Structure 1
Amino acid sequence: MSATYRFNSGGDNCDDTSGISAELTHVVHTTGSVSVFMTINASRSLPPLPRVGLQMCSPNSMRRIEWFGRGPNECYPDRKTAAMMGRYVTSVDDMHVPYIIPGENSGRSDVSWMALRCATSASNLGKYDAATAATLPEKLHSWTLGPGVVFAINNSEKALITVQRHSLNSLEKAVHTHELDVLDNVKESFVHVHIDHVHMGVGGDDSWTPSVHPEFTIQTGREMTFGITIVALPREGDPFEVYQHLQRQGLLQDGYSDCH
């Protein structure tokens, strides 16, 4: 079963070629997995785009993240040489980078698959008293893992992921990092997930000019296609084994052309 949605920045004017048009197709497979395919056309009259991808929210209980890609620390297309390819795991809270003036952060580049799962951390950290334990990074806690979900990138492509408790809207509004928790009410909010097909670089050659190099910008006037497959992760499941199973089923190869 499949469903296709079409969006146009010109509203009801489908002939508008001066903006961005998008087509999003959801394919529900008999195995229970869901493939999402996206086609974006951005007018050549537009400036370079900041990012192109999918955005979603997951329940606040999804506290544990694992991925295969670059890490373990934050990295972006023009800032990733020191980030080694590997399999990494941490908490959603530890993905966030607390810049004094908030902005885009927590990106991980060249990701093949990512898993989010429910998890609870133990309050007793052995040699640490409760007050000290509360100040330690969540990655040092012992975890009880629950079920989750695996996001696999289609067609052997790679994506840039960002996963954190703060929305883009809050990151833009806040002028100091302490304002984020108030804006998002993080104890009750969702986990914000971005899976980007392409993402501009962060620049930073100097502090007074726009310094993102041309090769790390997203030029318009072309069609971009992207796909992911989403599948449930059992409590005792290994996300890499789930990813391999999707590959063996052929769900990650040429799926976009198969559903058109």
Structure 2
Amino acid sequence: SFNKYWQAFRDNPRLQGGFIWDWVDQGLTKTDSKGEKYWAYGGDFGDKINDRQFCINGLIFPDRTAHPSLLEAKKEQQFYQFSLHNSDGLAIDITNKNLFTASDRETLCWTVTESGLIIDSGEIVLDVAAQSTQTYNLLDTLPTQTAGHDYHLNLSVCLNQDKAWADKGFEVATEQLPLKSECGLVLLQKPTEQAPELQQDNDYIFVSNGDFYIQFSRSSGLISEWQVDGEIKLLAGPKDNFYRAPLDNDIGTSEADNIDVNAWINRWQSAGLNDLQVNCSNISAYSLPHAVQVNVDFTYSYQDKLLITTQWQYTIDAKGAVNIEIQVEAAPSLPSLARVGLELILPNTDSQVNWYGRGPHENYPDRIASAHIGRYACDIEAMHTPYIFPTESGLRCDVKEAQVGSLAISGDFHLSVSRYSQQNVAQAKHTNELIAEDKVYLRLDGFHMGIGGDDSWSPSVHAEFLLQKKRYHYQVNLSFK
């Protein structure tokens, strides 16, 4: 929620502050018994009185590479502000927030995108006086729009000459403005294929249609096998996921001998959210004219107390695409959930991740201003942020499409991909304790709690970013290419 502070400074000229603790992670290099180097912090040098990782809260790592939060700070502190100008075409108002410095002939590059693909672009040399606003016309008419697509105006201001502090081409300001999209009806193609074959026995439900084979376990309620052309595509089927490896902000001042009862980690663990007992209470399957439907109900308990129920509805079409619709109901006594989503495990067959959503860097619901919606690609390793004190990391928000290896995903979800299990990350205290497995953990969240950060010792997630509702609904579609 860093943007709220900086907006307050803009709205109130007499207000000042916004000091960030800290600039750099103050870690020192150590080498473990296996020869692996890692960043060490308080308590790692035999010091008995220490503040643990409290010196590890910077915007950059000790080697001066950037945390994702540095990009958020840069975005909010930029001296150019942008807004759409009311006109028949496409025009923008650019405000120079510098107190004394006029724009120095910087170059504004702009693009209009349709669902992440560029359909128009241009460049303008800026000439805006200090503390003033200038209107620039980009297009006389808006591009033709198609129903069902998203449209954005992307703006980037870059230096057109070398400076003492940055090279020519350095981006000094950026913005993404959503454009009004056509709201016409999108005609969906009506299925014509016959439903896949459905077979059942006392232990399993089988759905197949020549090229694919999906098996559900009646005891667990999960997909126990998914094959395409004889190749195993899943190591573990989708299952509910309500927890995250605690962030530094989730832990706060809690220590083994000094628990902060208000810290999120204590609230979650006291409620049993890290140790839920799952039970498949019902599973059934039906053949529809063009698909097979499998319904599964789960209950989640802690110390014999029912905390969460979920209803999963799988709809499997003739081509093997699986639509999963999930209803979640949480007990009124529960604190804000860390996430409402699912996790599945893929074989380690492809290291590439592609997505249409926010990026390219890590972002969370209350830290998204610098992460523009677009089409991005990277290796799985780049989806992980190597925080010195390992925590939940690597989320990409507001994703509509993704592909991880041969698995295509669509819906409205938050995406994270990792070679580390949640349990490993939650238990690790240093990066050398993380174990990269020969598999891929894919997490798709319908909802994810914010990360806070007003300070690093109290539960400071703002109310609008908490998951305090007791009913949730989301859906995703999975298919292997």
Q: 1:106 aligns with which of 394, 405, 409?
A: 394
Structure 1 stretches of 4+ moved >4 Å: none
Q: How many angstroms does 1:52 deviate by?
A: 0.2
Q: 1:206 aligns with which of 452, 455, 458?
A: 455
Partner of 1:170 in structure 2? Answer: 424
Partner of 2:467 in structure 1? Answer: 218
1:149 aligns with 2:407: yes
Q: Give the unaligned 5+ runs of structure 2.
A: 1-291
Partner of 1:78 in structure 2? Answer: 366
Partner of 2:383 in structure 1? Answer: 95
Q: How many angstroms does 1:205 deviate by?
A: 1.3
Are the equivalent residues in 2 in contact too, given 1:62–1:191 (CA < 8 A)?
Answer: no
Aligned residues: 189
Q: What CA deviation, in whole Å up to 9, does each residue of 1:120-174 have, x standing for no partner?
A: xxxxxxxxxxxxxxxxxxxxxxxxxxxx110111xxxx21111010111111010
Q: How many angstroms does 1:32 deviate by?
A: 2.0
Partner of 1:230 in structure 2? Answer: 478
The structure with the largest alpha-carbon Rg is 2
Q: How many angstroms does 1:226 deviate by?
A: 1.0
Are the equivalent residues in 2 in contact too, given 1:70–1:86 (CA < 8 A)?
Answer: yes
SS in structure 2 at match of 1:9: strand
Q: How many angstroms does 1:10 deviate by?
A: 3.9
1: CA distance, partners of 2:455 / 2:295: 44
SS in structure 1 at match of 2:351: strand
Q: 1:194 aligns with which of 443, 458, 464?
A: 443
Partner of 1:57 in structure 2? Answer: 345
1:7 aligns with 2:256: no
SS in structure 2 at match of 1:24: strand
- For the aligned residue pairs, the C-alpha RMSD in angstroms reads 1.5
Which protein is richer in helix relative to its size?
Answer: 1
Are the equivalent residues in 2 in contact too, given 1:43–1:220 (CA < 8 A)?
Answer: no
Are the equivalent residues in 2 in contact too, given 1:114–1:151 (CA < 8 A)?
Answer: yes
Partner of 1:138 in structure 2? Answer: none
2: CA distance, partners of 1:33 / 1:224: 23
SS in structure 2 at match of 1:215: helix
Are the equivalent residues in 2 in contact too, given 1:28–1:34 (CA < 8 A)?
Answer: yes
Partner of 1:19 in structure 2? Answer: 307
**Sequence identity percentage:** 34
Counterpart residue type for residue 7 of structure 1? F
1:41 aligns with 2:329: yes
Are the equivalent residues in 2 in contact too, given 1:106–1:163 (CA < 8 A)?
Answer: yes
Counterpart residue type for residue 226 of structure 1? Y
1:69 aligns with 2:357: yes
Counterpart residue type for residue 32 of structure 1? G
Are the equivalent residues in 2 in contact too, given 1:59–1:191 (CA < 8 A)?
Answer: yes
2: CA distance, partners of 1:190 / 1:179: 17
Instruction: After superposing the two structures, state which structure 1 stretch, 205-214 or 80-89, moved more.
Output: 205-214
1: CA distance, partners of 2:469 / 2:440: 30
Q: How many angstroms does 1:220 deviate by?
A: 3.4
1:113-152 correspondence to structure 2 within 5 Å: 113-117=401-405, 148-152=406-410
2: CA distance, partners of 1:111 / 1:22: 23
2: CA distance, partners of 1:71 / 1:152: 17
Q: How many angstroms does 1:31 deviate by?
A: 2.5
Counterpart residue type for residue 409 of structure 2? F
Q: How many angstroms does 1:175 deviate by?
A: 0.5
Q: Give the unaligned 5+ runs of structure 1.
A: 118-147, 234-260
1: CA distance, partners of 2:404 / 2:456: 36
1:172–1:10 CA distance, 2 compared to 1 (3 A): closer
